[in-house]
Amino acid sequence: MAKQIIPKKYAMPHQDPQVRAKNFDEVALGYTEELAVAEAERCLNCKKPFCKEGCPVSVDIPEFIALVKERKFEEAAKVIKRTNALPAVCGRVCPQENQCEKFCVVGKKNEPVGIGRLERFVGDYIVQKDERIEKAEPTGYKVAIVGSGPAGLACAADLARLGHSVTMYEALHTPGGVLMYGIPEFRLPKAIVQKEIENLKKMGVEIETNAIIGQIASLDELFKEEGFDAAFLGTGAGTPYFMNLPGENYNGVYSANEFLTRSNLMKAYCFPECDTPVKVGKKVAVLGGGNVAMDAARTALRLGAEEVYIVYRRSRAELPARLEEVEHAEEEGVQFLFLTNPTRYVGSEDGWLTGLECIKMELGEPDASGRRKPVPIPGSEYVLPVDVAIVAIGQGPNPLLTNTTPDLETNKRGNIVADESTGKTSKEGVYAGGDVVTGAATVIKAMGAGRTAAKSIHEYLLSKS
């Protein structure tokens, strides 16, 4: 087996940074068939695939890659879809560097196999095809799924495959959760998300939009009046945190959730062709250093801002965002102000934001997390002139559902308490997973939790009969 290994991944074609910073089209253009087959050739097809163990939904990675080598793309898609309902989505947004690709044997001495890129290629290939979806033999059980984000979608797919009758309730007018309102078009085209969701409908999953459980019906009413046998709660972490700084309610200060919802879900970037407006600042500050902050900054740039700053209190090494996202933002011209903490918003007489007062920080003693804690440098305050500020410091769970379900145990942050290995909550027949349990995490982790819960729900239903 003295196979010559190509040391680097085959490069993925990208839009030029100068061009793409001005449009909402997808940045990464995806592999061609030739590139996909060539990349697949780099896989050693290990007997003991460590990559699979790194995947939260345990995709049979070597098996699908072997099929790509043979140009059997449809079969490859079938293999992936056994465990992952949304390959075109996950191939794009998973942090592969911390998951499958982190454990790739090829990656020990060279670059790992581009598993994410291959998954994306296969996902896109099958999205273009009119896939034949088989409906399972009905079991007669009804399961309600609250929230149609990644956790709910994965849970629905597995339960439908097992023959249960699944209804998803979604508060917004479009299903998909963060895939629709949070992650921008240039990272995840919405048409692809909707196509993947259409396939779920073909499997028999009913999706009811504009339905807020907790307002239109309580969880108990779903069981009592609608006759559901079990429920999965995947309501996410959609409530924005603010910093509670003076001037936070000036015009021009957004939560990242609002800014991104306007742009992505409501397509404010097409205003006035679409009716929802968004403030396009000349100078924009984004507070925070996670993926949401990167998305907000890159969106502001595309809407036409001249200067976009990421304001982050630690240094570059501590940025919680994926390296790839940070690099993309830098290439596009986003400026980073490290060791900088916002202290208050400055506004005009008539209530509009004119600046963000910041204080410089220096690294002090290590804190509980082992990282050196940033401490303010007294007297180093200065005002950064901006007309739009976007707060991207995190989100918490929305209490609309838990408030109306008194016997559902939550922790002090408002997250639903659920067993990690089963998704079981304190309420009989009710399971939960994703960000509503863990706090804001990743798409794939939410999907993993949805699958775990689906398995438990299936066992629970069978035990009832």
Partner 1 sequence: MYKIVAKKTLAPAIHEFDILAPKVAKKAKAGQFIIVRVDENGERIPLTIADYDREAGTITIVFAEAGYSTKKLALLNAGDAVQDFVGPLGVPSHIEKFGNVVMVAGGVGVAPVFPIAREMKAAGNHVVGIMGARNQELIFWEEKMKEACSELLVTTDDGSYVRKGFVTDVLREYVEKEGKPDLVMAIGPLPMMRAVANLTKEFEIKTMVSLNSIMVDGTGMCGACRVTVGGETRFVCVDGPEFDGHLVDFEEQLTRSRQYKTEEQHALNRGGCGCGGGGKCHG
Residues engaged in binding partner 1 (CB under 8 A): 22-25, 171-173, 185, 190-191, 209-212, 215-217, 238-240, 242, 244, 248-249, 251, 254-255, 257-258, 261-262, 266-267, 269-277, 279, 303-304, 350-352, 398-400
Measured from the CB atom, is 131 or 258 closer to partner 1? 258
Q: Is 164 left (phi over 0), alpha (psi -120 to 50) or beta?
A: beta
Q: Are β-strands 372-376 and 395-396 bridged in parallel, bridged antiparallel, or unpaired?
A: unpaired
Do residues 339 and 358 make contact, with C-beta atoms less than 8 angstroms apart?
Answer: no
Greatest Cα pair distance, the chain, in angstroms, is 74
Do residues 67 and 75 make contact, with C-beta atoms less than 8 angstroms apart?
Answer: yes
Measured from the CB atom, is 274 or 462 closer to partner 1? 274
Q: What does the block give as tokens for 80? A: 């992936």
Write down the least CB distance from residue 302 to partner 1, Å: 9
Measured from the CB atom, is 130 or 350 closer to partner 1? 350
Write down the least CB distance from residue 17 to partner 1, Å: 16
Write down the least CB distance from residue 94 to partner 1, Å: 24
Measured from the CB atom, is 116 or 252 closer to partner 1? 252
Q: Is 113 left (phi over 0), alpha (psi -120 to 50) or beta?
A: beta
Write down the least CB distance from residue 36 to partner 1, Å: 25
Q: Are β-strands 382-385 and 353-366 bridged in parallel, bridged antiparallel, or unpaired?
A: antiparallel
Measured from the CB atom, is 204 or 414 closer to partner 1? 414
Q: What does the block give as tokens for 206? A: 């009913």
Write down the least CB distance from residue 22 to partner 1, Å: 7
3 state DSSP class of 385: strand
Write down the least CB distance from residue 106 to partner 1, Å: 37
Measured from the CB atom, is 274 or 377 closer to partner 1? 274
| DSSP codes, 368-383 | TTSSEEEEE-TT--EE
Q: Of 289, 288, 260, 242, which Cα lies nearest the Cα of 178? A: 260
Alpha-carbon distance of 160 to 140, in angstroms, equals: 11
Measured from the CB atom, is 24 or 64 closer to partner 1? 24
Look at the block and give the residue holding tokens 């939260």: 56
Write down the least CB distance from residue 434 to partner 1, Å: 15
Alpha-carbon distance of 461 to 405, in angstroms, equals: 22
Alpha-carbon distance of 118 to 289, in angstroms, equals: 28
Alpha-carbon distance of 194 to 209, in angstroms, equals: 13
Write down the least CB distance from residue 303 to partner 1, Å: 8
Cis peptide before 272 (omega within 30 of 0): yes
Measured from the CB atom, is 56 or 397 closer to partner 1? 397
Write down the least CB distance from residue 171 to partner 1, Å: 5
Measured from the CB atom, is 114 or 240 closer to partner 1? 240
Do residues 234 and 434 make contact, with C-beta atoms less than 8 angstroms apart?
Answer: yes
